[in-house]
Amino acid sequence: MSSEALVEISNVDFSYNAQPVLKRLALRFPRGKVVAIMGGSGTGKTTVLRLIGGQLRPDRGEVTFDGKPVHRMSHAELYAARRRMGMLFQFGALFTDLSVYENVAFALREHTRLPEPMIRDLVLMKLQAVGLRGAHALKPSELSGGMARRVALARAIALDPSLMMYDEPFTGLDPISTAVIGNLIRKLNDALGATSIVVTHDVEASLKIVDYVYLIADGEVVAEGTPAEVTRSEEPFVRQFINGEIDGPVRLHYTAASYESDLGLDN
Amino acid sequence: MDNALIRGLRLVGRLTVDGIWQIGATTRFMGMVLLRSGMTFRRFRLLMDEIYFAGALSLIIIIVSGLFVGLVLGLQGYETLKRYGSAEAVGTLVALSLVRELGPVVSALLFASRAGSAMTAEIGIMKSTEQLSAMEMMAVDPFSRVISPMFWGGFLSMPLLAAIFSATGIFGGYLITVVVIGVDAGAFWSQMQASVDLREDILNGVIKSIVFGAAVTAIALFEGYDAPPTAEGVSHAVTNTVVTSALAVLALDFVLTAFMFTGV
């Protein structure tokens, strides 16, 4: 990946309550590409998105967005940078007291002084892009999980962001919704001329749509490459993760005392 | 013995550190609320929505409670004062009790349980469902857009609610003593007018209700914002709002009363 990076993470350490989550992490996200960050649950994938969005600060190292370090931006600079970012949250995070229409219109109303007819046109265009123009009058409580995710996607692209971040976009979706969302991620990236980061543990759905993959375990990059390179890899961790094997370098069990001693059988 | 001593010292240390941390967190939170208040006053609609939510929607409980408190005060006051031959002074008793104490205190307690608990639940759920994070990522500051308008909505509504509570209570007292029992209406109103002082009684009552409104709203918002993002966390925060607000209102009432009415 040689093209210029929109987002770059250099040697970042991050810990929650003295528990290390990311260790010397280095990732590049080139302009115009869709890049996946894959790894098991609890490996710090979502933390990476929060560091890029400036919601968390690294203990060490640097996260840059368009060449500027995110955690050294002033409040105004950070909010200006966020206007160029869109984020799809794992469960949509729709505003439950607003209709689908008002959810998508929210950022437009907050950041622009567009007349109402233009806001209406833009909202309906964004909803059309995710196939939910007909659902504009519904409340979030009336939507299925997949529909809520698509509305959240329409809301995230309302200001035509240059960076789209997706936090586990495929979790809990049926195969058709998974394919729809996957297709949308790719199409929207190309249509907006944006850069996309997809945090996921869904190997099958993400390898179909991304240009590059980072595999993370224990807060470190353990493998990277194009989907073809990752699929061909012979590294034990990559094989175990891609094929969903039970046996391998990643252990199922959380660190514990011996099973025998816990059951009182060691005497 | 030594172990018990060390455990005791550790407990005192932990409680002290937790207490200082809590004071710091609350102060920082309130600083953010006040610093980010600009949008609240530039976009008047946001403030009006919150005044409607915290104030107008609390009117029913405030009016009904005020009426009943006034009815009871009128009955109890009349029965007691009649023994000393001064039943006409019941208007004074009802008005002073309500304007100085019961109006601000009871309406603040009701405000905490109706509007305060709803504010905590709303902020807590918005946090646990990542709605506040989503707002931040849309470059909209949750303090400016949601939390500050809620604070000012509560702050401005509380004195109005206390005034309505007192007025309804006085009307309740009039109903039971003048209309039902037959105390002379002229004596009821004239004695009240002669003995209730605008600055000493009414203004001090208004100051109390402003202080209680600020305290209850700040507690409700902080509890919601500080709630762990779980169902149990939010429910615990709502309980904390009601309990802490009630204790804060009663403690503040004692302090304010000591300064205002007794010259301490």
Cβ atoms B46, B152 nearer than 8 A: no
Q: Pairing state of beta strands A5-16 and A19-30? A: antiparallel
**Could you give the percent of chain A with pLDDT greater than 70?**
95
Confidence of residue A259 (pLDDT cuts 50, 70, 90): confident
What pLDDT was estimated at residue A62?
Answer: 92
Q: Considering only residues B66 and A251, tell me which one the structure prediction assigns the higher pLDDT.
A: B66
Confidence of residue A244 (pLDDT cuts 50, 70, 90): confident
Nearest chain A residue to B129 by CA: give it: A93
Of all residues in chain B, the one with the smallest CA distance to A153 is B134
When pLDDT is averaged across residues A42-62 and rounded to a whole number, the result is 89
- Which residues from chain A sit within 8 angstroms of residue B133, using beta carbons? 55, 89, 93
From chain B residues 168-227, the ones with a CB under 8 A of any chain A CB are none
pLDDT tens, residue by residue, A67-123: 899 999 998 999 999 999 999 998 889 999 999 999 999 999 999 889 999 999 999
Average pLDDT over residues B210-229: 94
What is the reported pLDDT for A241? 77
Q: Does A85 touch chain B (CB under 8 A)?
A: yes
Interchain pair B140, A110: CB under 8 A: yes
- Go through A145-180 and write b for each residue having 16 or more CB atoms within 10 A of its CB, e for each that does not: ebbbbbbbbbbbbbbebbbbbbbbbbeebeeebbeb
B150-170 pLDDT, tens digit each? 999 999 999 999 999 999 999
- Spell out which residues of chain B touch residue A155, defining contact as CB-CB under 8 Å: 138
Q: Is the pLDDT confidence value at B264 over 60?
A: no
* pLDDT class of B50 with cuts at 50, 70, 90: very high
Token pair for residue B145? 């857009």
Q: How far is CA B167 from CA A232, B68, B95, B160, in A?
A: 80, 12, 9, 11
B129–A contact, CB cutoff 8 A: yes
User: From CA B209, how far away is CA B111, in angstroms rounded?
Assistant: 11
User: From the CA of B175, how many Å to the nearest CA of chain A?
Assistant: 42
Give the Cα separation of A56 and A22 in Å (integer).
12
Question: Mutual orientation of helices B59-82 and B148-174 as an angle, nearest 10°?
Answer: 40
Q: Does A94 touch chain B (CB under 8 A)?
A: yes
CB contact under 8 A, A82 and B131: no
pLDDT (0 to 100) of residue A249: 67
State how far the Cα of B257 lies from the Cα of B264, in Å rounded to an integer.
9
Three-state SS for chain A is CCCCEEEEEEEEEEEECCEEEEEEEEEEEECCCEEEEECCCCCCHHHHHHHHCCCCCCCEEEEEECCEEHHHCCHHHHHHHHCCEEEECCCCCCCCCCCHHHHHHHHHHHHCCCCHHHHHHHHHHHHHHCCCHHHCCCCHHHCCHHHHHHHHHHHHCCCCCCEEEEECCCCCCCHHHHHHHHHHHHHHHHHHCCEEEEEECCHHHHHCCCCEEEEEECCEEEEEECHHHHHHCCCHHHHHHHHCCCCCCCCCCCCCCCHHHHCCCCC
Query: Other CB atoms closer than 10 Å to residue B99's CB: what's the count?
Result: 26
Per-residue pLDDT reduced to its tens digit, B93-144: 999 999 999 999 999 999 999 999 999 999 999 999 999 999 999 999 999 9
Residue type, B53: F
For residues A109 and A112, give the distance between their C-alpha atoms in angstroms, rounded to a whole number. 6
Q: How confident is the model at residue A250 (pLDDT cuts 50, 70, 90)?
A: low
Contact between B64 and B85 under an 8 Å Cβ cutoff? The reply is no
More confident residue, A145 or B123: B123
Which site among B137, B143, B150 would you substitute to test the A interface, given the most A Cβ atoms closer than 10 Å to its Cβ? B137
CA proximity to B41, closest of B206, B159, B151: B151
pLDDT value at residue A196: 93
Cα nearest neighbour of B134 on chain A: A93
The bridge status of strand A5-16 relative to strand A212-217 is unpaired
Say if A104 is an interface residue toward chain B (CB within 8 Å).
no
At residue A1, the pLDDT reads: 52
What is the torsional sign of CA B11, B16, B17, B19?
positive
Q: How many CB atoms lie within 10 A of CB B203?
A: 13
| B133/A55 Cβ within 8 A | yes
Structure confidence at residue A253 as a pLDDT band (50, 70, 90): low
- For residue A40, what are the CA distances in angstroms to A168, A214, B49, B247? 11, 12, 44, 47
B222-246: pLDDT as tens digits = 999 999 989 999 999 999 999 999 9
pLDDT of residue A178: 85
- Which pLDDT value is given to residue B205? 92
ipTM of the complex: 0.84
**B38: confidence class by pLDDT, cuts 50, 70, 90:** confident
Q: What is the pTM of this model?
A: 0.86
What is chain B's mean pLDDT, rounded?
92
Phi first, then psi, for residue A232 (nearest 5°) are -85, -15
A261 vs A64 pLDDT, higher one? A64
- The DSSP result for B209-247, as a single string, is HHHHHHHHHHHHHHHHHHS-SSHHHHHHHHHHHHHHHHH
Crossing angle of helices A100-111 and A145-156, rounded to 10°: 20
Pairing between β-strand A220-225 and β-strand A60-65 as defined by DSSP bridges: unpaired
pLDDT digits (tens, 9 = 90+) for A180-237: 888 889 988 998 889 999 998 888 888 888 999 998 888 888 888 898 888 887 777 7
Report the candidate in B68, B152, B150 with the shortest Cα–Cα distance to residue B117.
B150
- Compute the distance between CA of residue B130 and CA of residue B124 in angstroms, rounded to an integer: 10
Residue of A nearest to B127 (CA): A93
Measured between CA atoms, the residue of chain A closest to residue B145 is A110
Give the CA distances from residue B89 to residues B77, B95, B170, B191, B201, in Å, rounded to whole numbers and listed in that order: 9, 10, 13, 6, 17
Please say whether the beta carbons of B193 and B123 come within 8 A.
no
A247 or A136, greater pLDDT: A136
- Which tokens sit at B100? 């100085």
| Residue range A167-180, pLDDT digits in tens | 988 887 788 888 88
Instruction: Tell the residue number behind the tokens 């470190």, with chain if given.
Output: A220
